[in-house]
A and B are shown apart, each in its own frame.
Chain A
Amino acid sequence: MATVSAPKQVSVKEDAEALRKACQGWGTDEKAIIAVLGHRNAAQRRQIRHVYEEIYQEDLIKRLESELSGHFEKAVYRWILDPPDRDAVLANVELKKSGNKHHVIVEISCTKNPEELLAIRRAYHARYKRSLEEEVAYHTKGDTRRLLVALVSAFRYYGEEINTTLAKSEAKKLHEAIKDKKFGNEDVIRILSTRSIAQLLATFNCYREQEGTSITKNLPKDSSDEYIAMLRMAVRCLKDPKKYFEKVLRRSIEGIGTDEDALTRVIVTRAEKDLKEIKELYHKRNNVPLDKAVDKETSGDYKDMLLTLLGNEV
């Protein structure tokens, strides 16, 4: 369930005016921005941007980008975009980073339903004039490339039908590949990137029945091999996305310092979907509510924005 509370009826005209007022003159009224945008759903935000442009002849997003800064600005920018567009931007940012880690690509491709992933790929075309697949292929090599391109190109069947015989035999194939440490094996990539979610869950269950442990436990955890880390991530995302997101949140908060990018990403992308359940998982696991942890670890307008998206009144 969503944590963001958006009233059913809003006057987008008034919202646009309020945002305009918040940006005029000296300084910016960040609280007003949070008060409006933090309580609007995707459709409403889209309408506000449209009306704002009509009335004031400028792009609201560009305006906000110039008025705000730091983590707060990043959060608002990601929040105000349409969900598919947002994920396209997140994917692009991730690909432009140097190094081999492309966890966000795995996250995006494995936690969305087929239509959502498709919408992201369309949004990527529109924004970057290339396909997401070719960019991923271009920025990666070897096993990583084969896995990521396959995951990102997937258009899985979305029904609930399962073939138990198939699940058993594919569980066996996965086990053999893992046992022989052939993690980049074609069967592994094929199964993970083409089977429907229902079928995969059945396969993972068969795996556990056959081997006694879950498949994730059999994938080496602290491997320095980036490919194995991504493979493990893919399995976890496909198996239980909420549990995965809880862990991302936990990791971003614990220890010294906070990973604001990860924190923002999870909260902004799940606030309208299942952040409520993720919060509950967090509370169970860490004995402290997520809101409290965020309150403690962040500050200022950034904190207020996150808390609002988490459903609080600041």
Chain B
Amino acid sequence: MANPCEVEVLNNALSGIGVDEKSLVSILTKSQNEHKKSMRKGCSKFFLEDERQFERWNDSAIKSLKAEFKLFKDVVVLSLMHPWERDARLLKKALKKGPPHYNVIVEIACTRSSDQLLGARKAYHSLFDRSIEEDLASHVKGSERKLLVALVSAYRYEGPKVKEDAAKSEAKALLNAIKNNNGDHKKKAMEEDEVIWILTTRSKPHLKVVYEQYKKISAKTITEDLEVELLLKETVECLCTPQTYFTRVFDTALREDAKEDAKKALTRLVATQEDVDLKGIAAKFEDKIKERVKGAYKDVLLGVLADDRK
């Protein structure tokens, strides 16, 4: 007969984020058929008894387990890939999966350095025999097209020099565009030429100043005013306040009810962001990681975010 605590160990090993490989190994190697039978009876989360009193795996449980096992594999594959190939493949996948995944395109286009983004574009040529711009432009049908193509084509200046006056007037222009479109449902702010050229050609230091200037002339920040246009909001976030964006990804992924995409987002961040800043955020979430994440995946997360990583 299986120990009640073995049942609990099994439950734990398969819950949360990732899987506790070590515990699973010890359960499997020590269990005989009788053990396994009573474990099936005890873990109602994963097994159910159908109308013919046949104990079987819960199909949706298998599906989510598959995703959990995959987390480790994904983080390994992503981390070992050349950053350019990685970004090119992530972009292609996001494009293929459609509008709910376009935020990945925004994330990559806005959080990479100019040369990294360029490298991703080159890698895309090599991998797919097309340019990412062509594919985006011909596959994205909606109002996001202009914004996404322009974001991905950017080769921003990376120096610190900023023109205060230009930043001030551009903050004003953004405010106008956003206010004008809140009532008018025909055109979204993300389709406005002014918004697009400011957000997709100006340097990041410049945009950070625009963000500050905007706060002075509006009651809210740009991101608060853009609640209705999620993609545009994330664009501004990634460009001006990446910390907020990263924190949110961590937070969403580490919740009880975290969905597959949220955990994939976490994997993606961990494997692709090399910023020192990421460590600061991770430190805040270290306890949550220790509590909710299991096994090899947890070790990777903690190791990657540890102090001695370069």
Q: Measuring CB to CB, which residues of chain A are less than 8 angstroms from any residue of chain B?
A: 118, 121-122, 125, 129-131, 133-134, 136-138, 142, 145-146, 149-150, 153-159, 161, 186, 190, 193-196
Pick the contact of B202 from A134, A153, A190, A193 — CB < 8 Å? A134
A153 near B193: Cβ-Cβ < 8 Å: no
| Residues from chain A with Cβ under 8 Å of B145 in the complex | 186
A196 near B131: Cβ-Cβ < 8 Å: yes
A155 near B153: Cβ-Cβ < 8 Å: yes
Task: Give the shortest distance, in Å, between A44 (CB) and chain B (any CB).
Answer: 28
Closest to B158 in A: A125
A153 near B153: Cβ-Cβ < 8 Å: yes
Task: Give the shortest distance, in Å, between A158 (CB) and chain B (any CB).
Answer: 7
| Residues from chain B with Cβ under 8 Å of A130 in the complex | 157, 161, 203
How far is A130 from B162 in the complex, measured between Cα atoms in Å? 9
Pick the contact of B157 from A134, A138, A146 — CB < 8 Å? A134
The 3 A-B residue pairs with the shortest CB-CB distance, nearest first, are A153-B153, A134-B201, A137-B197
Chain B: interface secondary structure?
helix
| Residues from chain A with Cβ under 8 Å of B146 in the complex | 186
Closest to B121 in A: A155
B131 near A156: Cβ-Cβ < 8 Å: yes
Q: Does B149 contact A (CB under 8 A)?
A: yes
How far is A270 from B51 in the complex, measured between Cα atoms in Å? 82
Pick the contact of B133 from A122, A137, A154 — CB < 8 Å? A154
B134 near A194: Cβ-Cβ < 8 Å: yes
| Residues from chain B with Cβ under 8 Å of A129 in the complex | 157, 159, 161
A153 near B130: Cβ-Cβ < 8 Å: no
Q: Measuring CB to CB, which residues of chain B are less than 8 angstroms from any residue of chain A?
A: 118, 121-122, 125, 129-131, 133-134, 137-138, 145-146, 149-150, 153-159, 161, 166, 193, 197-198, 200-203
| Residues from chain B with Cβ under 8 Å of A138 in the complex | 166, 197
With A118-B118, A134-B202, A157-B130 in contact, is A194–B149 under 8 Å at CB?
Answer: yes
Task: Give the shortest distance, in Å, between B280 (CB) and chain A (any CB).
Answer: 29
B201 near A155: Cβ-Cβ < 8 Å: no
How far is A134 from B197 in the complex, measured between Cα atoms in Å? 7
How far is A191 from B259 in the complex, measured between Cα atoms in Å? 38
Which of B145, B153, B161, B166 gathers the greatest number of chain A CB atoms within 10 Å? B153
How far is A193 from B133 in the complex, measured between Cα atoms in Å? 9
How far is A129 from B138 in the complex, measured between Cα atoms in Å? 33
- A131-B154, A137-B198 given; 6 more Cβ-contact pairs under 8 Å: A131-B201, A133-B201, A134-B203, A158-B125, A161-B129, A194-B137
How far is A118 from B125 in the complex, measured between Cα atoms in Å? 15
* Between-chain CB contacts (< 8 Å), 29 pairs: A118-B118, A125-B158, A125-B159, A130-B157, A130-B161, A131-B155, A134-B156, A136-B201, A138-B166, A138-B197, A149-B150, A150-B149, A153-B154, A154-B133, A155-B122, A155-B131, A155-B133, A157-B125, A157-B130, A159-B125, A186-B145, A186-B146, A190-B149, A193-B133, A194-B131, A194-B134, A194-B149, A196-B130, A196-B134
With A137-B201, A196-B131 in contact, is A155–B157 under 8 Å at CB?
Answer: no
How far is A137 from B130 in the complex, measured between Cα atoms in Å? 26
A190 near B138: Cβ-Cβ < 8 Å: yes
Which of A138, A146, A194 gathers the greatest number of chain B CB atoms within 10 Å? A194
Closest to B117 in A: A155
B138 near A155: Cβ-Cβ < 8 Å: no
Task: Give the shortest distance, in Å, between A188 (CB) and chain B (any CB).
Answer: 12
B193 near A145: Cβ-Cβ < 8 Å: yes
B134 near A157: Cβ-Cβ < 8 Å: yes
Task: Give the shortest distance, in Å, between B241 (CB) and chain A (any CB).
Answer: 21
| Residues from chain A with Cβ under 8 Å of B134 in the complex | 157, 194-196
| Residues from chain B with Cβ under 8 Å of A134 in the complex | 156-157, 197, 201-203
Pick the contact of B137 from A136, A158, A190 — CB < 8 Å? A190
| Residues from chain A with Cβ under 8 Å of B202 in the complex | 134
| Residues from chain A with Cβ under 8 Å of B198 in the complex | 137
Pick the contact of A154 from B122, B125, B153 — CB < 8 Å? B153
A153 near B131: Cβ-Cβ < 8 Å: no
Task: Give the shortest distance, in Å, between A147 (CB) and chain B (any CB).
Answer: 12
Which of B146, B161, B166, B201 gathers the greatest number of chain A CB atoms within 10 Å? B201
Task: Give the shortest distance, in Å, between A190 (CB) and chain B (any CB).
Answer: 4
Pick the contact of A133 from B121, B154, B158, B193 — CB < 8 Å? B154
Closest to B203 in A: A131
How far is A158 from B121 in the complex, measured between Cα atoms in Å? 12
With A142-B193, A149-B197, A155-B118 in contact, is A131–B157 under 8 Å at CB?
Answer: yes
How far is A138 from B202 in the complex, measured between Cα atoms in Å? 10
Task: Give the shortest distance, in Å, between A306 (CB) and chain B (any CB).
Answer: 34
How far is A95 from B201 in the complex, measured between Cα atoms in Å? 16
A157 near B129: Cβ-Cβ < 8 Å: yes
Task: Give the shortest distance, in Å, between A100 (CB) and chain B (any CB).
Answer: 16
Closest to B115 in A: A122
A121 near B155: Cβ-Cβ < 8 Å: yes
Task: Give the shortest distance, in Å, between B272 (CB) and chain A (any CB).
Answer: 21
| Residues from chain A with Cβ under 8 Å of B150 in the complex | 149-150, 153
How far is A225 from B193 in the complex, measured between Cα atoms in Å? 20
A146 near B153: Cβ-Cβ < 8 Å: no
How far is A146 from B200 in the complex, measured between Cα atoms in Å? 12
Task: Give the shortest distance, in Å, between A283 (CB) and chain B (any CB).
Answer: 37
| Residues from chain B with Cβ under 8 Å of A122 in the complex | 155
| Residues from chain B with Cβ under 8 Å of A159 in the complex | 125, 129
| Residues from chain A with Cβ under 8 Å of B131 in the complex | 155-157, 194, 196
